[in-house]
Amino acid sequence: MIRYALACEHDHAFEAWFGSSDDYDDQAARGLVECPFCGSRQVRKQVMAPAVTGTKKTAGAPPPELQAVMMQAMGKLRRHVEENFDYVGDRFAEEARRRHEEDEAEGRGIYGEAKPDEVKALIEDGVPVAPLPAAAVPRPKQQVN
């Protein structure tokens, strides 16, 4: 399929799709291409930039099937953390720093809330942290003291 930018003798601009360049030429020669605004069959191609794909892909929304898989995986990740890590609430930054400095890598992990500046400071100091995917439905949490 090929899309052409077209214009009629009255300079009404419009687009149309054709199976190939030859299909356009054939239909135009037979007077089958007409302006949707005024019905004129005096139609010409407009100058167009080709749609060339490069090596970099543009970021667009993933297909719905992939979105569903990603959401399911993020939900599983969140449930795993909630079931296997200790919730420390707004003490997350201080507790993460303490565990890092005391080299408490073993044992249960922690999760909680931290302000952006606290997270930035943890990262700058080499404390491994990562955001937790948001819950679809917030659940009440029990804070570990």
Which pLDDT does position 68 carry in this prediction?
82
Task: Look at 21-35, 58-72, 76-90 and tell me which has the smallest mean pLDDT.
Answer: 58-72
Q: At residue 138, does pLDDT exceed 60? A: no
Between 47 and 13, residue with greater pLDDT: 13
User: Does position 91 have pLDDT exceeding 90, yes or no?
Assistant: yes
What is residue 43's predicted lDDT score, i.e. its pLDDT? 92
135 pLDDT band, cuts 50/70/90, is low
How far apart, in whole angstroms, are the C-alpha atoms of residue 63 and residue 144?
A: 40
Mean pLDDT on 132-145:
61
98: left (phi over 0), alpha (psi -120 to 50) or beta: alpha
On the question of pLDDT at 145 being above 70, the answer is no
